[in-house]
Amino acid sequence: MWTPIAEEAERAAQVLHPNGREIPRPAHRRVLTVANQKGGVGKTTSTVNLAAALVKYGMRVLVIDLDPQGNASTALGVQHSSGTPSIYEALLGEIGLIDAVAKSTQSPDLLCVPATIDLAGAEIELVSMVAREARLKRTLTTAVLDQLDVDYILVDCPPSLGLLTVNALVAAAEVLIPIQCEYYALEGLGQLLSNIELVRAHLNTRLHVSTILLTMYDGRTKLADQVTNEVRKHFGDRVLRTVIPRSVKVSEAPGFGQTILAYDPGSRGAMSYLDAAREMAAHPLHQGLHR
C-alpha cells in the first residue's frame, strides 16, 4: 500500500539520489539577482534553497549575501559577525571577493560571501565612491569566477531599491523576482520593474527579468490562486510552473543554519525547491544567453 510515509521516503530518496535528474551545466556562467523591495516575500529563503538545490544537481554555486541582515549567511551556516571578511570590505575595495568566500556547512560546492552588519553603512559610504553602482560587478572578475569555478551566482538583495540592490542589478544578467502568494503581492512590483528598466537602459543592457517564483503558496485560500493567475497572466512563461508551498519546515531550517534540503530533504518544501531549480536550469529564455 502506498502510505504517506512511503511517499515521503520516496521523496527523500529522490532528493538524496536524484538519479536521472541531474541538470546540464549552463553553457555560460549565470548570474541571477534575487530582488523584490517588498520585505519578507521569500528572497533569502529562495536564494539559499535554490542554491542548495542546484548543488544537489551537481552544480557549483556562489551565494552573495547583499543584505546587512545577513540572513542568507545564517541559513548557509556561514559566520557573519562584524569583522568577518565579507561583501562589505569587497565592495569598498579593501579585499578581493575571493578573500571573503566561505564554504557553506551544506556542501563544499556551495560557497557564500557573507554579509555582516557593517554592510548597513555601505549604502551611504558607497555614494561618494567612483563607479558606485558597479562596485559589485567589479569584484566579479572573470579571473575570480574562474578560480572559484562556479556555474551559478545568486545575489540576495535587501528589501529596498537602494544602492546595494542597484549594484546587484548591474552585476547580473538575470533578475529572479520572488512573489508571495498573498494580498498586496503585486503592490510595488511596478516600481521594481521600472527600476530594472532604468538600470537596463543606463547601466546594464544585458539585464532582464528571467524568472518569477511564486512563494508561500497556501492551496487552502482562493487568494493564492488569484495571485498566481494574475502573475501568470502578466509574466507568462517567465513564471516557474513550480510554486513553493507555505511550510513550517521551510521557515524552521535557517534556525539550524541549514537549507530545507539539509534540514528535511523529504519535505514538500525541499522537493519544490528542487523542481524550481530544475526548471530554472532548463528555462529556454536563458539557455546560453548570457555570461
Q: Give the binding site for ligand ATP (CB under 6 A).
A: 39-45, 67, 71, 159, 215-216, 244, 246-247, 250-251, 269
C-alpha cell at 71: 540572513
> How far, in Å, are 216, 223, 244 from residue 219 at the CA level?
10, 9, 11
Listed ranges 44-52, 127-135, 189-197, 252-260: which one lies at the site for Mg ion (CB under 5 A): 44-52
Which residue bears the cell 556551495?
110
Listed ranges 43-51, 94-102, 205-213, 248-256: which one lies at the site for Mg ion (CB under 5 A): 43-51
Task: Tell me: does residue 44 bind Mg ion (CB under 5 A).
Answer: yes
Binds Mg ion by CB under 5 A, chosen from 38, 43, 208, 238 = 43
- Alpha-carbon gap, residue 270 to 155, rounded angstroms: 20
The radius of gyration of the chain's CA atoms, rounded to the nearest angstrom, is: 18
**Pick 127 or 248: Cβ nearer ligand ATP:** 248
C-alpha cell at 257: 543554519
**Pick 145 or 260: Cβ nearer ligand ATP:** 260
Least spacing, CB of residue 43 vs ligand ATP, in Å: 3
Query: Residues in contact with Mg ion, total (CB under 5 A)?
Result: 3
- Alpha-carbon gap, residue 90 to 92, rounded angstroms: 5
Least spacing, CB of residue 158 vs ligand ATP, in Å: 6
- Residue 107 touches which of ligand ATP, Mg ion, none (Cβ within 5-8 Å per kind): none
Q: Report helix, strand or coil for 62.
A: strand
- Residue 250 touches which of ligand ATP, Mg ion, none (Cβ within 5-8 Å per kind): ligand ATP
- Alpha-carbon gap, residue 81 to 48, rounded angstroms: 19
Which residue bears the cell 528598466?
197
- Residue 29 touches which of Mg ion, ligand ATP, none (Cβ within 5-8 Å per kind): none
Least spacing, CB of residue 113 vs Mg ion, in Å: 15
User: DSSP assignment, residue 177?
Assistant: E
User: DSSP assignment, residue 141?
Assistant: -
- CB atoms < 10 A from the CB of 37, how many? 18
- Residue 40 touches which of Mg ion, ligand ATP, none (Cβ within 5-8 Å per kind): ligand ATP
| Residues of this chain that bind Mg ion (CB under 5 A) | 43-44, 71
